[in-house]
Structure 1
Amino acid sequence: MTCEENPFKISSGDGWISGVAHKPSKKAPLVLMLHGYTGHHIEDHRLYVDIARKLCAEGIGTVRFDYRGHGDSSGEFEDFDIDEAIKDAENAFTYASSLDFVDKEKIGLLGLSMGGYIAVKLASEVNAKSIVLISPGLRVPMINVNVPTQDGYIYMDALRIKAENAKKVLQRMSGEAYEFAPRLNQPFLIIHAKDDPVVPFSSSEEFIGKLGSKNKHLLSFEKGGHVLSDYGVRRKAYSEIVDWFSKTL
């Protein structure tokens, strides 16, 4: 199927968010893609580009974007606030729903890492029909780590973030999503590698057990790390994601 890839920029909060909309050649379902902490709408080794193009080839549109303070969107990473990122996601969902090619009753969510937490939060608030989570940041053990600060900031290689905002990110991803789980009835696919060094695989096992949905599946891999870095694992994940949304949207 022929697909258009159209850049966009919309207002959000005190700035704007930008990204790319993948448009199939006819009326279509759509998946809103939510990236991870310090990530962007392309994601690790083009993970989100690949997924978006494979979905579009099967007649499913996508919107992938950068939160404020990330990628091409406005703001600085050091000011990043996860609550503002949730507002960005809400605004992106509204934008996606307004696109003329989108079947508004068939919008799904896909979230990686922190984007997995945001997808769960968003799914509890909007009419999302199906959800895919990759290595979702649902219970991150770093919450108990005493991270050193300097002048009120935490430094991460070439980046820094206000310590209070970093703490808020970790607090949100320390189990809050489990509160939403019992009332979420949408189809859920969770993809997680058992050797993930950032988010423990057991957190996805726990979450899927608490989900209210009757259509839920945990796809596990022995290797792949946090962002499915293994070539074969990633191709298998692509296939499963396309198949899942094709059946549930």
Structure 2
Amino acid sequence: MSCHGGYDTSVDETHVASPTSAMDLEYAQSGFITLIPEYRGYANSGGTVPDFNGITLDTNNAIKAIQSHFQVEPNHIYLEGASMGGGVVLKLATERNDIRSVIAISPFVGWDEEGKWAVSAKKQNPRALSEYNAMVDHYGPFKPNSPTYEKESIDYTKIHVPALILQGTDDANVEWQTVQLFYNDLKPTDSYAKLILFPGGHHGLHGKYQQAVNKDISEWYTKYGEGASF
């Protein structure tokens, strides 16, 4: 399954332009079901854009729909996502017990980690202050253990599958420090987790980084894909 990016909060808009295209099916293989979910409020999907938790719910329902119509081998679901989609696949790994592998590129890592960074850096970093204000406007005072923030975050203690995270240090959409914070919390509970930082890399790691990203992903599936044991 491949998840595209989107808004990190709910938006009162519908039929928002989606980055999904036919090119996303370029690497589809015989014997595998390739699922590219379209979240509510994007492209031809009805409704308005939901929050992070709502997008994850949509994606989980898409997986359930596939499983109700086709035979899917147990523990053979592979998740990939970029930007908001990267956060979705990480969050799904906390909610499902049939995930085999997760790959997250430039991922949103939940409002708890975003909040920690924004609170600590808002006095020195204008971007952190902007994130902090947006967060408080949508969810109220930052309380990472409150039900509101927990719902919009990723419980890293529940991720125990191989998780590859790829992140650029010049990302204008996702602050790399938030991804580093998330990985630092994740690694002690998930020995299979791996973070690769790309110095100077931008959001999505396209262009000159694409070849290296493809190589990292290929090596990951060689180790944790079909036929691999771990």
TM-score by length of 1: 0.64
Counterpart position of 1:72: 44
Gaps spanning 5+ residues in structure 1: where?
A: 1-31, 148-162
Aligned letter for 1:75? G
Identity of aligned residues (%): 25
* Correspondence for 1:81 among 33, 42, 51: 51
Counterpart position of 2:106: 135
Shift of 1:246: 4.1
CA distance in 1, matches of 2:194, 2:164: 5
Distance 1:173 1:145, change over 3 A: farther
Counterpart position of 1:40: 18
Counterpart position of 2:198: 221
Do 1:116 and 1:133's aligned partners in 2 also have CA atoms closer than 8 Å?
yes
TM-score by length of 2: 0.68
* Correspondence for 2:153 among 167, 176, 194: 176
Aligned letter for 1:113? S
Give secondary structure in 2 for the equivalent of 1:109: strand
Shift of 1:99: 5.2
CA distance in 2, matches of 1:74, 1:192: 32
Distance 1:61 1:96, change over 3 A: same
Do 1:188 and 1:217's aligned partners in 2 also have CA atoms closer than 8 Å?
yes
Distance 1:60 1:41, change over 3 A: farther
Shift of 1:121: 1.9
Do 2:5 and 2:83's aligned partners in 1 also have CA atoms closer than 8 Å?
yes
Do 2:93 and 2:158's aligned partners in 1 also have CA atoms closer than 8 Å?
no
Shift of 1:244: 1.7
Structure showing the higher strand proportion among its residues: 1
Distance 1:135 1:146, change over 3 A: closer
Shift of 1:58: 8.4
Correspondence 1:185-204 to 2 at 5 A:
185-204=160-179
Root mean square deviation of aligned Cα: 3.2
CA distance in 1, matches of 2:205, 2:68: 32
CA distance in 1, matches of 2:211, 2:205: 9
Structure showing the higher helix proportion among its residues: 2
Shift of 1:49: 3.1
* Correspondence for 1:145 among 133, 143, 165: 133
